[in-house]
């Protein structure tokens, strides 16, 4: 069986997965497959189709017309056949040696069924001199993380920013075949949808995983795009949803995943209110800040007789300081977002890889 399946959902014809696919396929020895999932009414570029036809490790699966992002992700995973499965978007970058890492993990930590790592977050539209430093963790040792702590971080929003600090899931993380099969057996949602399925997969992975392993070394790049609030149908008596902002979208996912499993939402606390405040404070114009703040405050007023509403006191900061430091600070090396002239996420990772230990070297002692 193939060691690693890399799922790439292509939602629109404007998304170009060719740089990502080309970079992965350059490693001809990597034990992996690429699953390109797309709606049947979306056409891939001739160059991408040529790359797929010239390498048997690439498969294309259609999902029908008008597919939601949530459904597209589910179909991509359903088509994957690898021992481990991960998912990245067309504009992202993924380390093809991830297949070596998961093979190593099977030997060194056979009970682990969910792997996460640091992912660089790169905005391709950032301007030189205006972007914060990018941190490269100095450590490269695999850590086993406590599941109870991760459950609190995700579902109780402990120490969160605008969304929970919990890296496990499917998106820029990998899950083992046994866990994939378990999650695919769960009923598909039919009465709700979400624009952020990465949090749906994160919630389910966290609930059903046996052991969690975290690798501090970055192994991928997320091409950052701002969250866009979307209208949400709310037949259920739950006021937080994706039409409010990112924190609302995550709360909506948590509510429905727990509801489907017969459990109540656990996030109604001060930490969740803080996340909503941070979500508001990330707005750079006062108009957007006021609009988002009003919608969040109204939602809080509808939740449990408004008991959390008095805690909601965000502050507007039009100018936020940038971290422009360089060099070793604590457990990370801070580098310029545009190091080596890098503009795109692909170019940044190509330069950053020269500063970090190769996966094959880190795993060599145990797999030789």
Residue that has been written with the tokens 């994160």 in this structure:
202
104, 367 in Cβ contact below 8 A?
A: yes
Q: Please report the DSSP string for 82-115 in residue order.
A: SSEEEE--TT-EE-TTHHHHHHHHHHH-TT--EE
pLDDT of residue 235: 66
pLDDT of residue 262: 94
Eight-state DSSP code of residue 171: B
With residue 221 as reference, give the H or E element that holds it: strand 212-223
Question: Helix 69-79 to helix 197-208 angle, to the nearest 10 degrees?
Answer: 50
Only one residue has tokens 């599941």, namely 147
Q: Which residues, given as ranges, of the chain have pLDDT below 50?
A: 366-368
- Give the other-Cβ count within 10 Å of 180's Cβ: 22
Token reading at 79:
């088509």
Q: How many other C-beta atoms are found inside a 10 Å radius of the C-beta of residue 354?
A: 9
178: left (phi over 0), alpha (psi -120 to 50) or beta: alpha
Pull the structure tokens for residue 351: 């330069």
The tokens 């209110």 sit on which residue? 273
308: which residues sit within 8 A by CB, 6+ positions away? 268, 269, 270, 272, 273, 300
> What pLDDT score was predicted for residue 331?
87
Q: Which two tokens stand for residue 120?
A: 């660089």
Q: Judging by beta carbons within 10 Å of its beta carbon (0-12, 13-18, 19+), is residue 106 exposed, middle or buried?
A: middle
- Going across the sheet that includes 332-335, the strands are 134-137, 332-335, 327-329
**pLDDT score of 368:** 36
Question: What CA–CA distance (Å, rounded) separates 87 from 35?
Answer: 9
Tokens, residue 96? 């093809």
Residue 179's pLDDT is 98
Q: What is the pTM of this model?
A: 0.94
């Amino acid at each position: 069986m193939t060691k690693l399946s890399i799922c790439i959902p292509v939602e629109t014809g404007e998304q170009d997965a060719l740089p990502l696919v080309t970079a992965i396929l350059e490693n001809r020895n990597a034990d992996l497959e690429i699953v390109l999932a797309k709606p049947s009414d979306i056409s891939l570029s001739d160059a991408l189709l040529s790359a797929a036809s010239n390498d048997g490790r690439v498969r294309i699966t259609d999902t029908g017309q008008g597919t939601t992002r949530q459904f597209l992700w589910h179909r991509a995973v359903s088509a994957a056949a690898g021992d481990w499965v991960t998912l990245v978007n067309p504009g992202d970058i993924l380390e093809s040696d991830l297949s070596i890492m998961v093979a190593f993990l099977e030997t060194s930590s056979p009970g682990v069924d969910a792997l996460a790592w640091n992912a660089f977050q790169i905005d391709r539209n950032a301007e030189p001199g205006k972007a914060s430093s990018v941190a490269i963790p100095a450590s490269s040792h695999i850590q086993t993380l406590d599941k109870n702590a991760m459950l609190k971080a995700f579902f109780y929003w402990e120490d969160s920013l605008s969304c929970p600090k919990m890296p496990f899931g499917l998106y820029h993380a990998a899950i083992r075949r046994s866990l994939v099969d378990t999650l695919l057996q769960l009923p598909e949602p039919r009465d709700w949808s979400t624009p952020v399925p990465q949090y749906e997969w994160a919630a389910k992975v966290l609930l059903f995983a046996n052991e969690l392993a975290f690798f501090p070394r970055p192994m991928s790049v997320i091409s950052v795009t701002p969250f866009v609030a979307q209208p949400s149908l709310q037949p259920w008596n739950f006021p937080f949803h994706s039409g409010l902002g990112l924190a609302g979208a995550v709360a909506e996912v948590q509510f429905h995943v727990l509801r489907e499993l017969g459990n109540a939402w656990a996030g109604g606390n001060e930490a969740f209110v803080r996340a909503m405040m941070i979500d508001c404070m990330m707005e750079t114009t006062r108009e957007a800040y006021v609009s988002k703040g009003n919608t969040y405050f109204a939602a809080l007023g509808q939740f449990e007789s408004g008991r959390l509403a008095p805690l909601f006191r965000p502050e507007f900061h039009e100018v936020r300081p940038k971290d422009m430091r360089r060099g070793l600070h604590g457990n990370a090396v801070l580098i310029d977002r545009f190091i080596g002239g890098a503009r795109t996420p692909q170019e940044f990772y190509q330069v950053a890889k020269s500063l970090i230990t190769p996966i094959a070297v880190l795993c060599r002692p145990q797999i030789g």
